[in-house]
Amino acid sequence: MTESKTGRMLLSHNFDLPEGVFPVLSRGDLTQVFAEGLSQYSGIKCRQLNHPHWMVEVLFSQDFAPPQVGEFCAKALVDKRKSQGNVDESFPDVLILAGLKKTPPLSDDPEALQTGEWGVDVVETLSADSFLMALAWEEKTEGKSIEDVFKVDMRKGLNKI
């Protein structure tokens, strides 16, 4: 369990891009993307996890709202991808899909998601709309508040990349 003054997010990576568009980021690479991208914010720390699903832990002070930390993560990944290639039609849409765990933990492993922590799927896809539709995101999150779920959506079509 996290301290009351510290938020915790565990990040997984969903790489939904055709082979050769961009390199798949290893666990270490992904950790480096977020550690470097969030290093400008005192009160946010990242570390690599050795969990089968969760890859990166992000601890943040109460000075930051969880959706704000999600935006920082999206920007860090977009900046990394910009450094690797052109921003053209093959540039990925980046989604940060987050949910607050309200049920008992499935494991007592300290690297597993615990009650009161954010599970975050970091998504790279060519079509955010198709990905969200296949996931049924709107239906799954309908009626839930930003205190329970949030989405950060950075894509070419929204002029955010």
Q: What is the pLDDT of residues 2-44, one digit of tens each?
A: 445 789 999 999 999 988 888 899 999 999 999 999 999 999 9
- Calculate mean pLDDT across residues 114-118: 95
Sign of CA dihedral 161, 90, 127, 134: negative
Q: Which pLDDT does position 88 carry in this prediction?
A: 80
Sheet containing 56-61: order of strands: 44-48, 56-61, 6-16, 118-125, 93-100, 149-154
Query: pTM for the whole thing?
Result: 0.92
Burial class (CB in 10 A: 0-12, 13-18, 19+), 1: exposed
For 40-78, how does the pLDDT look when each residue is reduced to its tens digit (9 = 90+)?
A: 999 999 999 999 999 999 999 999 999 999 999 999 999
At residue 1, the pLDDT reads: 42
Please report the pLDDT score of residue 14 as a whole number.
95
